[in-house]
Structure 1
Amino acid sequence: MITRFTCSNFKNISISDLEFGKVNLLIGPNNAGKSNFIRALSFAANMTNTPNNVDSGFLSEIRRNGSVEVIRHGAQTEKVHLSWRILLDNNPMDYTLDFQLKQKSFEIAKESLDSVKVIGKNDRPFNYFLFHDKNPGYGMFSTAHKMGSANRRVHVPAQTDETGLRQFDKLVMKNEDLLKSHYVRETIFTMLEALRSYFLKFYSYSSSQFDFEKVRQLQEPTVTAKRLTKDGSNFLNVYRYAEMIDPDFSERFLNKMKELITDLKNIEIVEGLDKIGMKLHMYHSEYMLSEVSDGTIEALLLALLISLPKELAPTLLAIDEPEVNLHPAWQNVLAKWLQTSAVFSQCFISTHSSDFLDAFTEGFRNGNVNIFVYDPTGKESFKPLNRERVNFEIDNGWLLGDLYRVNDPAIGGWPW
């Protein structure tokens, strides 16, 4: 899971060393930067998830974020800094990515992976690899870290328009010194594979990107749909694949939807004319997806993400404004799903719904939910909600949504 995150000059986001837990909420009005926060947090994951037939995952993600618009307006430098502290198998490490606009194109200025723990007699954390810093077009790997062992660096040429995470396999195959190094092969390679695997199962969605009309359409069946697309259009095939690999999935999914639709009896995949669809059975009627509301479609998509089998489960689930289209009562249920789900190890949710916030009050009070609020006056785009500042109100029966509705200065939220 991501335990800390730092970002500067990415769109309108500037934050320093924010600490995260399992459930993390972003609160703020429109244009506060909630969506951009999730884009920044998801940058390395989206880059890593770019199909292998694309030349540069890094440049693809730059383009997805608007190319030159990725740089904060009015920034004194054209360099973007992103740093994730990630806990993998109880081993904390810092992955850093700096990139800049240079001669009308973007290039990576620095990429590194460092141990958080100081090893041996070093006075600073051990560096596993470092690319481009002070030497553009080259990277270097450590070959040993045990005390007393020689730590000869292996230098390799590397593209400045692609990350080491995506070109590491090619670098190893082309360089005999890397192949000969047992430490590089057994430790660093294993570590990079674990980091890539983490990012590959990092799911990021925005409710505004869901295409409800495509979800409603009958789909051609496929057995390769293991991940819900950004627009949700392959929902039926992901559902069908989850059913195939997990005999308990359909019941788990149905029970979640019954919490929202009280007269729901069953959900089934139906087939005909070489297409598949979904039918919802109620006590007195039946509905195909083409007959249900946008809110029901969105609820089905969210229930899927929170019910996935272990083999398909995300390491991190990020959703921008999941409450859109949902009835306030359904928002309450969704909040419960997010706080109790064992499918993912961590989630990030952006919202400006007071009804949705209400359901996180107890989790926040108990320290199980972290909340970050927009700060229009400070240097940081978001800051942690001060628990001591709101504990008195919560102890006296106020809910988080109540504080949001009255525009309490500690939580803010309203645009005026």
Structure 2
Amino acid sequence: MDRLQRLTLNGFKSIKALELELHPLNILIGANGAGKSNLISFFKMLNEMMAGRCQQYIGTSGRAQSLLHFGPKTTPQIEAKLEFEVENGVDTYCIRLSHAAGDTLIFTEETISFQQTDWESPRTDGLGVGHQETKISETAKVGNPTAKFLKYLLDRCRVYHFHDTSATADVRQSCYVGDNRWLMPDAGNLAALLLRFWEEGHAAYQQIVGTIRLIAPFFDDFVLEPDQSHRVILNWKEKDSDRVFGPHQFSDGTLRAICLATLLLQPEDELPKLIVVDEPELGLHPYALNVVADLFKKVALHTQILISTQSSSFLDSFDPENVVTVNREGKESQFKRLSPRALDIWLDEYSLGEVWEKNIIGGGPH
């Protein structure tokens, strides 16, 4: 399985220096303000960068001063290196984003490299300096095999954020039926994606419906019928009733659970290479939380997972080696993976969530 093996990140928000080995399943746990969401937002920036919207992301994030660790006077540049384990070696993507006039960031380094398993040194290509948007896409288009495969991997490191379930949220509105290639970060095209799964007879559709019934026993099935303008909305029906309900009649927690079930139960060949989710426990009943935790563990057999959480009960569903604690030490966020052996004595008597609440493993809530 192609996966992100190691991330090195320097100078980004509260992350002064980070070198993190990533496993198939990674759970970030820490107090408010520790820096969990800052790591998540780096992957959000990466998503925008790969879509050619780096400058737009910088502008909407409070300009470069908000992204550089304690501002440009303290930290003039952000450096990142992503090392992907692939079938026959390691693909690496390196960037340096430096502060520039207008309180923005420009690329002062962008390199790609491939280290084949039996080679002594990697094959490295520089993509230039001084540009405002990544050049990996155009390098891939001219036939560079490393750029092509790295672009494929980077495009599939996807961040999802299902917090907005308000009355005006996109997930509660209609969407174009053709917008169904993959799930949007906010699940705004959820109805179109589920309609495609149903029309193509994917087993995933029935698995999604079955999982929702576990979480919401009143739920029977979706009623996904495009209108004359080729738009579809997330209508549904209740058990033992012919009445059709709309998406506004789902509770916030139920709607978030539907988003998570669809994300994690989609066909294996459509899964992102890395799924990043910020606080998936928000608004979920404890039983629903257990169901969602099981889904994350199962999907981690097929793709890589990175989650941030503040829920001790959610943490109980995972093994210590899956957990990375995040602590704020002075002005810096520190990330540390748990050692199962060091916790053996504690875990004989307490659950992992209880150990966290007692502040024994760091990243504690107080």
TM-score range, shorter chain: 0.7 to 0.9
Shift of 1:400: 1.4
Is the CA contact (8 Å cut-off) linking 1:43 and 1:61 kept in structure 2?
yes
Pairing of 1:259-298 with structure 2 (within 5 A) = 259-271=214-226, 275-277=231-233, 278-283=235-240, 287-298=245-256
Letter in 1 for 2:153: Y
Tell me how far apart the structure 1 counterparts of residues 344 and 251 of structure 2 sit (CA, whole Å): 39
Contact 1:87 1:93 in 2 (8 A): yes
2:46 counterpart (23, 36, 44): 44
Q: CA deviation at 1:196?
A: 1.2
The reply to whether residue 115 of structure 1 matches residue 86 of structure 2 is: no
Aligned-residue offset at 1:212: 5.5
* Unaligned ranges ≥5, structure 2: none
**Cα distance, 1:94–1:249 mapped onto 2, change above 3 Å:** same
Does structure 1 conserve the Cα–Cα contact (< 8 Å) formed by 2:140 and 2:147?
no
Aligned-pair Cα RMSD in Å: 2.6
Q: Does 1:404 align with 2:359?
A: no
- Residue 230 of structure 1, aligned match among 185, 205, 209: 185
Of stretches 23-32 and 310-319 in structure 1, the one that deviates more from structure 2 is 310-319
Deviation at 1:386, TM superposition (A): 2.9
Contact 2:324 2:336 in 1 (8 A): yes
Which of 55, 74, 92 does residue 59 from structure 1 map onto?
55
Residue correspondence of structure 1 range 123-162 to structure 2 within 5 A: 125-132=121-128, 136-137=129-130, 160-162=131-133
Partner of 1:102: 100
Q: Which moved more, 1:238-247 or 1:75-84?
A: 238-247
Measure, in 2, the Cα distance between the counterparts of 1:118 and 1:22. Answer: 21
Q: How many residues align?
A: 357
| TM-fit CA distance, 1:18 | 0.8
- Return 5+ residue gaps in structure 1 as ranges: 51-55, 138-159, 173-184
Task: Quote the residue 2:160 is aligned against.
Answer: 205
Largest Rg, 1 or 2 = 1
The one-letter code matched in structure 2 to 1:355 is S
Match of 1:347 in 2: 305
Distance of aligned partners of 1:220 and 1:349 in 2 relative to their CA distance in 1, 3 Å threshold? closer
d(CA) in 1 for partners of 2:116, 2:145: 18
Cα drift, residue 289 of structure 1: 2.0
1:307 Cα offset (Å): 1.4
Q: Is the contact made by 2:91 and 2:146 (CA closer than 8 Å) also made in structure 1?
A: no
Give yes or no for the alignment of 1:391 onto 2:344.
yes
Shift of 1:266: 3.0
Distance 1:218 1:94, change over 3 A: closer
8 Å contact from structure 2 (residues 9, 17) kept in 1: yes
Compare 36-45 and 208-217 and name the one that shifted more.
208-217
1:371 corresponds to which residue?
323
Relative to the length of structure 1, the TM-score reads 0.78
| 1:295-310 aligned within 5 A | 295-310=253-268
Query: Does the residue aligned with 1:208 lie in a helix, a strand or coil?
Result: coil
State the Cα distance separating 1:326 from its structure 2 match: 0.7
Letter in 2 for 1:405: E
Q: Which amino acid aligns with 1:385?
A: L
* Other structure's SS at 2:169 match: helix
Question: Given residue 281 of structure 1, which amino acid in structure 2 is its aligned partner?
Answer: E
Please state how far the C-alpha of 1:279 moved relative to its aligned partner: 0.6
Q: Following TM superposition, by how much is the alpha carbon of 1:21 offset from its aligned partner in structure 2, in angstroms?
A: 0.7
- Select between 341-350 and 277-286 the one with higher mean Cα deviation: 277-286
TM-score by length of 2: 0.87
Distance 1:13 1:19, change over 3 A: same
- Provide the C-alpha distance between the structure 2 equivalents of 1:36 and 1:220, rounded to a whole number of angstroms: 30
